[in-house]
Amino acid sequence: MGLMTGERYIESIRKMKMEVYMFGKRIEHPVDDPILRPSLNSVRMTYDLAQMPEHEDVMTAVSPETGERINRFTHIHRGTDDLIKKVKMQRLLGQKTAACFQRCVGMDAFNAVYSTAFEIDKKYGTSYFENFKKFMFYVQKNDLTVDGAMTDPKGDRSLAPHQQADPDLFLRVVERRPDGIVVRGAKAHQTGVLNSHEVIVMPTISMGPEDKDYAVSFAVPMDSKGLFMIIGRQSCDTRKLEGTEMDVGNSEFGGVEALTIFDNVFVPNDRIFLNGETEFAGMLVERFAGYHRQSYGGCKVGVGDVLIGAAAVAADYNGAAKASHVKDKLIEMTHLNETLYCCGIACSAEGRPTQSGNYMIDLLLANICKQNVTRFPYEIVRLAEDIAGGLMVTAPSEKDLRDPHLGPYVDKYLRGVHAVSTENRLRILRLIENLSLGTAAVGYRTESLHGAGSPQAQRIMIARQGNLAMKKELAKAIAHIKE
């Protein structure tokens, strides 16, 4: 089938009979819902850019198995060049959407499951790797969007999955049949699941032998029986219902999250990639988390580029662009943003092959990347709000600006530099509000903290990967210490 166009992608999602709920009601046509549609447009951009010759190198790759050109979001990384292009692709898409474009989690799940399934088969003689390759070829051939679902609700964090008062607080196998398994549970904070054709489910933590039923990984279509979604609220989400395009800030693009329920969903045997091999649950989690933490060195940087640009435009419109402190703040924002990008590129360039042949990023540097992402975007947002000024959150609505009686007053008193229209000034301030506080903040500021694991998750991995023992030996050698 080859690369799908953005228009074909939209229509393919429209044809799926997904079960979606929002504000206590079932959404019969999610593709056309004004709150949900911007998130679909963000995914569409991953298809549209792949059609453009000038972006072919980063947006697509040639499958070594088939020789066909495929979307990079369905590709298995074969070298450090692929890992670097992944980060560049994510920055480009962040620049074009100023939002979460949602396919990264599936791409990261693809590569984590690929190498882990290979190693499970090597130890146990299972067929998970062949199962996954069959699924991979299907996704590549049809250029499908795949969500990666890892985060369980978790319940009482002090208890293992099998110890929970409610056993469904971690997704689990509830029935094993000759032709497959039946699973029950939920996955929380599922970014882009609504706009996906398929979902890859993975365990969320390392597990012991008692958690065998919870050590499961598989793929199912998003319109599977028993699978449904409850859409999460976002700040300012209902502005999209008001018919005030300017007040939304970023009216075309956005992100969406959902609590995704698996209510006795059947999974056929050839869609299973892990089924009870508990010692490999931690490997899968660690590899997925590493890839996804690398991702943040691209996507968040691209959105950061837009926010920095918006702050600079606001400074122009406010008449403050020449102020030395404003210049210094823009420099600091750029410094922080490019530092994140450096980390994304560095962990990619230091990648190494796994036993399966695909490439894994440097886990230490990937976790350093994400640790910085939990901090730097917050400072970038603070500086942007500082430059923008309080009008960013106190401005009247677009309807006030358009009102025959009120509009002239809004235009008169909220103009900055006289040569710039009040409308343009308010538009750039609404964009900054959207990126800092509104719906896009979920995909930039807050997701920077919790996406791909909260800060402590990275610190645990940094402690594991930091090789403190080796560093001690270096110091002892220099100090001529003999023990």
Can 100 be counted among the known catalytic residues?
A: yes
Of 19, 119, 198, 257, catalytic = 257
SS (H, E, C) the chain: CCCCCHHHHHHHHHHCCCCEEECCEECCCHHHCCCCHHHHHHHHHHHHHHHCHHHHHHHEEECCCCCCEEEHHHCCCCCHHHHHHHHHHHHHHHHHHCCCCCCHHHHHHHHHHHHHHHHHHHHHCCCHHHHHHHHHHHHHHHCCCEEEECCCCCCCCCCCHHHCCCHHHCCEEEEEECCEEEEEEEECCCCCHHHCCEEEECCCCCCCHHHHHHCEEEEEECCCCCEEEEECCCCCHHHHHCCCHHHHCCCCCCCCCEEEEEEEEEEEHHHEEEECCHHHHHHHHHHHHHHHHHHHHHHHHHHHHHHHHHHHHHHHHHCCCCCHHHHHHHHHHHHHHHHHHHHHHHHHHCCEECCCCCEECCHHHHHHHHHHHCCHHHHHHHHHHHHHCCHHHHCCCHHHHHCCCCHHHHHHHCCCCCCCCHHHHHHHHHHHHHHHCCHHHHHHHHHHHHCCCCHHHHHHHHHHHCCHHHHHHHHHHHCCCCC
Token pair 């976790």 is found at 367
Which one of the listed residues 46, 104, 116, 260 is annotated catalytic?
104
On whether the CB atoms of residues 40 and 255 are closer than 8 A, the answer is no
Burial of 214 (0-12, 13-18, 19+ CB in 10 A): buried
Is 335 considered catalytic here?
no
Q: Which listed residue (60, 97, 191, 439) is catalytic?
A: 191
- Is 447 in the active site? yes
Residue in 145, 189, 292, 359 annotated catalytic = 292
Specify whether 342 is catalytic. no
Among 19, 46, 198, 299, the one annotated catalytic: 299
Considering the candidates 9, 47, 114, 296, report the single residue annotated as catalytic.
296
Catalytic (active site) residue 236 = no
Q: Is 46 a known ligand-binding residue?
A: no
Q: Give the integer Cα–Cα distance in Å for 222 and 195.
A: 9
**Is residue 191 annotated as part of the catalytic site, yes or no?**
yes
Annotated binding site for FAD: 191
> Would you please indicate which residues are annotated as catalytic (active-site) residues?
100, 104, 191, 257, 292, 296, 299, 447
- From the annotation, which residues make up the binding site? 191
